Amino acid sequence: MPSGRPKGGKNNYHPKEEKQIKFEIVETLSKEFNVRALCRVMNISRSGYYKWLKTN
């Protein structure tokens, strides 16, 4: 039965990709919800979010 892992047992986890996804989620949801609350729930800093927003 496949385990969902690539052969060789390597983990494809990339923290930068996870952070990027979180920032994108906050950007999308910020039209309906407070950015401060979203950042708290996503466990990211508001300053980091706004820095990312400025560069994207």
Q: What is the pLDDT of residues 9-18, one digit of tens each?
A: 567 778 889 9
What tens digit of pLDDT does each residue of 19-41 get? 999 999 999 999 999 999 999 99
Cβ atoms within 10 A of the Cβ of 46, count? 13
Q: Hey, what are 1's tokens?
A: 């039965």
In the chain, where does DSSP find H-type helix? 15-29, 35-42, 46-55
DSSP state of 33: S
Q: Domain boundaries in the chain? A: 15-55
